[in-house]
Structures are given as structure tokens and as C-alpha cells.
Structure 1
Amino acid sequence: MSNADSLRLAPLVVGLALVALAAWGAVALFLTTYRYIRATPLQRRRMRHAWKIARRWRRLAPNLGLARVDENTKGVKDLNGKVKKPVTVVPRLKVFPEPWGIRAVLQTIPKVGIDEVDKAAGWLADAWDCQTIEVKRLAAGLVEITGIVGNPLDEHQPYVWPETADWVLPMGHNPWMRQVGIPLKQLSGIKVAGMPGYGKTMLMLAWMASLANRASVQFAVFDGKTADPRYGDWGEAGARAMFVVGDNPETANQRLTDLVRLIKDRPAALVEERGTHKFWKQGPTETNPLVLVLMDECHNYIDAAGLKGKDKELIEANQRLMRTVAKEGRGLGVIPVVGTQKQTSDAIPTAVRDNLEVGVCFATFTIDGAEAALGNGIRKDEENQPTTLIDKERFAGVCVVTGVPGLSGRYDRVRVGDIDEAAMLQLVAASIGYRADVIPAAAPTVRDVSADSAGTTVPLQKEAPKTTRRRKAS
């Protein structure tokens, strides 16, 4: 093709390119308009917010130090010999509307990365009309900025009762309006802390109700708030449990002994049922169900402060039994949920507390109480400290959680769903027929495989020989 022909075709090519560009713009505009018309009022508001941020980004970025002058353009002169103005490079930003606010993805440039964006987070929150800004690395060269508009934790939503067979305890929504739950598979246990009246007991009752309609789940309840559990918070729900214990440490000792006997006996029962001692390989069954041990105000069973003699020995025995449940129950389907106002060592042994991997903490007056429930990392995370949740009118039902998937050792705030107490008790009442006492009636035994082919059963717990005391002659 000659140069003349190329010159004649050039306008045609340019015209086709402009037509294609105009068609693409028209399609994009049509789709955006269609989505806007079909959106809810909240979604439209979020879309307008995202467009506003994207439109103003090129003016905002240099003022926040999130743009850089291209050094290669400094001192460059035009055809008249005048020095040109250096080029300012602004990182590309794509903004997406979300139910809880906006999500932006920034493409980094030299000297503008995650550290620079994190330093400017406070100014970004003000400029973008956001309550909170969170910055994290999305991938190499990409930074994700999430901004919360308003305070979603002030928004009340109903508690979501699970409809599937997933082994998850529902909680509520976090500041990003995502539902948060605690997976039970391979869970060592949960510690629940916080001042009275903020929602500890109600959440534990909801967890019981959420699993009550499964025959493969049984419950053991320790109500440390009342002497007679029939008249306490767990009174009506107790009909679904294998047993309910009041605040008597001696009765608790007997029932903790039963649970330890169940744990010691279970490996043999699992092997007999499924050929392996690993509980979660096949999951809970009616023969070997998941046992959720719910202990409300557990300090009444294990606090030895000021006790002496037999009373102190009883409490120390309870502590040993609780350690066994916490340390050995995980792989055998016995999961403790331990609640107390302050999870410090005087209320719960550290050997128990530190073995429970999920921490849930409602409002606390002191950072020491929060640290006992959530770990020492909470001291550095000022935004999520439970000491900021003291306002009961606003924050009753709001907690801080750690140890759940996706947090990677960090912390998140959760607004527990509003629980319909009548519906909760109805769920429990409708499932009373699933109650079954799976505590072994006798001392557990194992088979002596080193004996003859017939085998010999050997008790794991031998009774001490009875002795009589002889009086000395006077």
C-alpha cells in the first residue's frame, strides 16, 4: 500500500475508532443508568457518593501527599525555550459503592504506597465523609481502602437463626455489615466476658437455641447466677439440656466429673462407631453427639479466694476438671463456652482461659479485663477496645471478638442480632424430644490389646481400696 493510500485511509480509521469509543461510552452510560434506576434508595445514595469521590480524586490526592511530581519532567523546555511545568502523577483510583459505605482500589506509584495511604487515612475519612477508614494491601501494587459511612453498629437487625446444617454459631454483623459466626469444627472453646446487662447470657442462650433442633447435639448447662436453675435465665431452656446445675460448687463437681468421664470414654466409643477416634472426621451423630458445655458466671465454681480446708479442695478439684474439659474436649466433640464478667486469673484458671481460642468481650471498665478475654493485642487496638462500649443505651449487645476466621489474630466489633426471646424459647421447646443423656453410666474401660485374643477390660479409673481407721489405745 502506498503512502497516498495510507493517508486516504487514515481518516476512516480514526472515524471508526471514534465511533467504537462513542458506542462503548453509550453502553457504559446505559448500564450505569439501568443499575441506578433498579437500585434501592440506599444503593443510589452509595452510588452518588462513589461518583463524587472518584470525580474529586485528582484534586484531593496532591493535597494529601498521595501524588508525586515526575522527576523526569523537571527542567524540560518547550520549543520557545521556556521551562515546562513538571507533570504531577496521581495514582489511579477505582471506587465501588457498598452497603456499608465505599470501597476503593488504588494502584500504587513510586513513593505512594500503603504506608502513605495509611498515614492519610484520617484526612481521607474527613474528605470522603466516612466514619472510619481501613487500609490494607490487596495485591502487589494494589491497596484497598474501605470507608464506613455512618455507624452500622447502631443499626439493629434480627438474629439470624441458622437454616443449614453448617456447624457455625451465629453472632451478628460487623461494621462492614457482614455476618459474623463462630465455626465449631475443631474449636477448643469460647470465652465470653463483659459487665452484666450487656448480652452475655442472651447470646449463650441463642447459641443453644440455634443448635437445639439437631439430635446430634446435646447440652450441659452450668448456671452460676442462681441457686435453683429452674428460676433463672436457663430455667425454660434447661429442659433441652442433659442437666442444668445451679451455683453449688459441689453439684458442679459431680457434673464436671461426668463430663470428664465422657471425654475419657469417647475415643473407644468413636472407634467402635466409625473406626477412628477423630470426632470431626465424620462429625456429630446421635450416638456420639456434639456436647456444648455452657457455663454462665463460671467463677462461682472455680474461685478459691478466701477459702480454706475442704471448700478450697473442692474448688481446686473443679479447676482440674475444667482444665481437662478445655484441653481434651476439642478433638472429641466436647466444647466449653465459659462466661464470666471478668476473665482474669482469679475468676478462671489461665490454663483454661488461654486454651479457649475464641474470645468474645462485651463492655468492660478496665483494659485489664479486656486483655484477659481477648489477649494483650487489644491494648494496641484502641479503636476496638471494649472500654469504649460502656454506654449501655447505645452499646448493649455490641461486643469485640477475636479468634474467628478471617481476622488473623486481629479484632472486630460485632452487633449481636436482636433476639426474639419468645421465638428462641419456642425453638428450644419444640426440640425437647432430641434430649438424650450420653454420660457413661459406669467408669470407662479400655481393652487390653496386649492380653490374649479374647482381650481383657481394664478400668481407667480404679476405685481406691476401702480402709478403716484404728483407734489407738489410751
Structure 2
Amino acid sequence: MDVLNEAFGWLRGVVWLGLGLLALWAVVWLVRYLRASPMERVSIRQAIRIRWGWKRLARMCGLSVTDKMPSALASIATADGKQPKPRVLVPALKVTPDAFGVKAWATCLPKVGLAEFQKATPYLADAWRMARVSVLPGDKPGQVMLRGVRVDPLITPTVHVPTGRPPEECVKWELGVDEYGMPVFVPLKEVPGVTMGGLPGFGKTSCVNRLVCDWAPSPAIQFIFFDGKVSHAYEGDYADLVQRAFEFCGDDPEEANKKLKELVQLRRARSASIRRLLGVKNMWHVGPSEDWPLVVVVIDEAHTYFRDHKGSDPATKRLAALAADNARLVEDLVKKGRSVGFLTLLTTQKTTGDAIPTFIRDVCPVGLSFAQKTADAAVAALGDDIREWPDASPVTLQDPAYVGVAVMSQHGRPGFVRIRTPYVADKDADRVAEATTHLVHHPARLLEKLTGRAVVDLTKDAPEPPSMAA
């Protein structure tokens, strides 16, 4: 009797423990639900419906397989020598909600793999009440990831608030989210240049602002701005960030020529001393550092500095000579600066050859385009392949709802991806720049400390540009 009472006591303890854990789970789930945003609550309810109805829906969509081989337990349990009924197997599904919809991970089965899930996406979208569903290979072998979005992330404006902390991964450019709400980022390690095009007011500068705000807290990165829209640093889109830059240049092509020549001198000095100071021929083998930072050269409205002026009067000839020399200097930075730590970002409205010379544009491996007016402008920004993907063309982004949406090629996969880039408020940009002003150092001065000699004369006037024949 004592043993029986002890067993019942132990059983009651297990039951109460189970009820306690169940109550704790219910409280956690309820708190999570109440703290969620209204959009997230809708997604949570959708996720519950998806889990409950998955086994039936999977069979209806052809995402199941019949196993005619009985298990050992079924064979033992079957009496009178009858053949056990075949089992219908359905892929296991794990669902996670977020603001845009749900993410789901499914385990593949024989004859139910990636292709079968992709074929079933229209039916899944209808059954799950989603705008669209995509299927990609999962993180593990034998797994697929399904992404269902209830609202279109491309027309849902987002805001990015910089943390003010150094980035966890150096030179990773977090752009935003794609049309399925999935994060999109571009690793810019070993990348010499980036081109960005798009109509005025559609998000080019804001996209660059996010990069600067995210990277500004790192002492291993230094910035220089060339803004072809304004004449002074306190004007224009970079007024809040200019205090984080070691140099700023306005729309004067002669001033730009002087500063570009200083950068090329710095590039040459780094090339001459990199093996002795870093022990490697490529800076990326050891990564940027506070003493040898990555120099990010932002050239906004690049056509201001490269425009091919036509005319026979002396003033026009001088402008044409400056433009040609500026293009030559930027070509030097893009083609020869990668291994010594230069990254050049060029933005303009149309990345055609008259705005960014093709000998510069075609060696920049990363290209983005916001809304464009013509197909030729889209091809100039993204290459001829964009003609084969008309649904992704930036020509379709001219609606005001798509302000902040860019197109770029998908790394490692064919086709193009559309990206909703977030807005960074001026007050946040000013806050980050002010908090990181103490990190500003001219890379030439840093190199002088390492080498013990002057490498760039930052005080002399700009030399005369080459003359052009009439």
C-alpha cells in the first residue's frame, strides 16, 4: 500500500509539473502576443491556422508520399496476417510569424522536394491567404524554406534607426528587405566600386546614408564625400554626416580634381608600403584597422565631375580637361585601390557612359538602380540581363509608392531582386555623426605615422590640369 501511495504521489507530482509548464507556456505565449504589433498579431494567428491545417493541405497540394512498407510495430499489431494499411507521410513543418507574414521550414521526403514545393506555391498562397509565397533551399540539406507575405514589403515604408555601435561584421552593407520581407545584404570585402542610379528623389542618397551611419562607429573606416549637388558642406543631403568625413568636396570640378589627386597619391603611397607595413600584398588578407582604415569615397551626382563639356572657348576647354582628368583619377582608384583599401561609391541619375564613363562603371562589380525612366537607363545601371527580367525592371518603380525601392542582381543566383531600403532620419544621422567625430583621421596622416615621412602634401594648390587640343 505504501508503494502504491508513493507511486500515486509521484504521478500527481508529474501531472502538476506538466500543468505548471503548460501554464507557463500559455503565459509566455500570451505576453508575446500582447506585446506584438497589430501586424504581427495577424501573422501569429495565421501561423496557428497553418500549423493546424498543414497535414490536410499538404495532401491536397500533392506534398505527401505513400509509404507501402509497414513499420515493425504495425506488422506486430496487425492480427490474422492482414496487410497493414499504407502510411501517408507529410513533410514536417515549423512555422514562425513576423510583421510581413510567416516563414516556414519543411523537411523534404522522397519525391517531395524543392521542385514540388515550388510548383505548389500558388495553392499555398491561396490557402494561407498570402499575397505570394516563395520557396528556397533551407539552411540544412533536405530542407526547404517557405516564405509567405501577407502585405507587400516593397510598398511598406520602413525606418532604420542606427544603433551607434560598431558593425558586427566589417564592410557588410545591409540594404533592406526584398519583396518577401527577407533581409538583403551585400558583402563589400574586396569590392573596388559600387554604382547606383535612379531618378531624383527615389532614395539613392538615403541608401548611402544608411551605409555611412552603420559604418561610422568603426574606427577602421574613413569617409570622404564628393557632393555634386551643392557647393558647401553645410548644404545638401550630407550636411548631417559631413562631420564624420575627413574631407568634403562640393560641385567645383577643380576642387574635386585636387582632392582626387590627393587620394591617388595616397593610393600610390599605400601600394608602395603595404608589404612592409602589413606583411601582405592585399589589405583584405588582414582586414582594415584603425591605422590602415578602409577609405570610402562617396561621389554623389558623379556626372557633375565627369561631364564632357563641348565648346571651343578657353573656359569650356578647361572644364573639359578637368572632367577628363577627374575620370582618369577615379579610374585609378577603382582599378588599383581595392587591394590597398579603397572603396568608391558613385551615384547618379542615369549611369550611362556620359554620366559615369564606361571604363569606370564596367569594373564596379556591384550595381543598384532605383526607379528609371527608360529601359536604356535600366540596362546602363544593371546590364543587358535586365531585359530578360521585365518584372524586376526599375522602369516599373516610377510610382511614388516605390520611393526607396532598388533593383540589383542576385548574388549566386540568376535574376534580379527588388529591395525596400529604409529611411534614416536626419536627427539619427546627426546623432551618429556627432558621436563618432572623434574617430575621424585623415588616412594620409595615419600612413605618415607608420612610415615616418610625408606621403601626400595636403597644403599645396591643385596643379594645372592638362590642356585639351581645340
TM-score, structure 1 as length reference: 0.72
Aligned residue among 194, 198, 204 for 1:194: 198
Letter in 2 for 1:399: A
**In 2, Cα distance between equivalents of 1:127 and 1:358:** 38
**Alignment-mate amino acid for residue 349 of structure 2:** Q
Task: State the one-letter code of the partner of 1:118.
Answer: Q
Q: Partner of 1:420 in structure 2?
A: 425
Taking a change above 3 Å as real, the CA distance of residues 170 and 97 of structure 1, as seen in their structure-2 partners, is closer
Of 284, 295, 300, the match for 2:304:
300
Does the Cα contact within 8 Å between 2:369 and 2:394 map onto a contact in 1?
yes
Query: Which of 155, 159, 162 is residue 160 of structure 1 equivalent to?
Result: 162
Alignment gaps of 5+ in structure 1: 1-21, 74-84, 447-456, 460-474
| Corresponding residue for residue 470 of structure 1 | none
Give the Cα–Cα distance (whole angstroms) in 2 for the partners of residues 423 and 51 of structure 1.
Answer: 38
Counterpart in 1 of 2:57?
60
1:328 equivalent in alignment to 2:321: no
Are residues 1:224 and 2:228 paired? Answer: yes
Decide which of 359, 378, 384 is 1:351's aligned counterpart: 359
Change beyond 3 A, Cα 1:37–1:241: closer
- The residue that corresponds to 1:128 in the other structure is 128
Partner of 2:150: 149
The structure with the larger Rg is 1
The aligned amino acid for 2:148 is G
Is the partner of 2:195 in helix, strand or coil?
A: strand
**CA offsets 1:298-340 (integer angstroms, 9 cap, x no match):** 0122232746765544433322222211111111111101111
2:47/2:97 contact within 8 Å kept: yes
With over 3 angstroms needed to count, the CA separation of the structure-2 counterparts of 1:261 and 1:376, relative to structure 1, is same
Match of 1:398 in 2: 405
- Give the letter for the 1:40 counterpart: Y
Long gaps (5+) in structure 2: 1-14, 71-84, 456-470
> Is the aligned partner of 1:46 residue 2:46?
no
* Distance across 1 between alignment mates of 2:216 and 2:105: 43
> d(CA) in 2 for partners of 1:367 and 1:91?
43
SS at match of 1:49: helix
Higher mean Cα deviation, 100-109 or 259-268? 100-109
Aligned-pair identity (%) = 32
Greater RCO (CA < 8 Å, at least 6 residues apart): 2
Paired position in structure 1 for 2:8: none
Pair 1:36 & 2:29 matched:
yes
Tell me the secondary structure at the aligned position of residue 39 of structure 1. helix
Once the 2 structures are TM-superposed, how far is the Cα of residue 99 of structure 1 from its aligned partner?
Answer: 4.7
Counterpart in 2 of 1:370?
A: 378
C-alpha separation in 1, matches of 2:16 and 2:435: 61
Alignment of 1:264-275 (within 5 A): 264-275=268-279
Separation (CA, whole Å) in 1 of partners of 2:237 and 2:99: 36
Q: Retained in 2: the 8 A contact 1:263–1:325?
A: yes
Separation in 2, partners of 1:285, 1:93: 45
- Following TM superposition, by how much is the alpha carbon of 1:129 offset from its aligned partner in structure 2, in angstroms? 1.0
Could you tell me how far apart the structure 2 residues matched to 1:69 and 1:213 are?
57
Asked if the contact 2:405/2:421 (under 8 Å) is kept, the reply is yes
In the alignment, the residues of structure 2 paired with residue 338 and residue 274 of structure 1 have an alpha-carbon distance, to the nearest angstrom, of: 29
SS of the residue corresponding to residue 252 of structure 1 reads helix
Asked if structure 2 preserves the Cα contact closer than 8 Å seen for 1:222 and 1:294, the reply is yes
SS in 1 for 2:371: coil
Q: Matches of 1:91 and 1:430 in 2, distance apart?
A: 51
Q: 1:241 to 1:105 in 2, by over 3 A?
A: closer
Question: For the aligned residues, what is the CA RMSD?
Answer: 4.3
- How many residues are paired up? 418
Q: Residues 58 and 197 of structure 1: is their aligned pair in 2 closer, same or farther, counting only changes over 3 Å? A: same
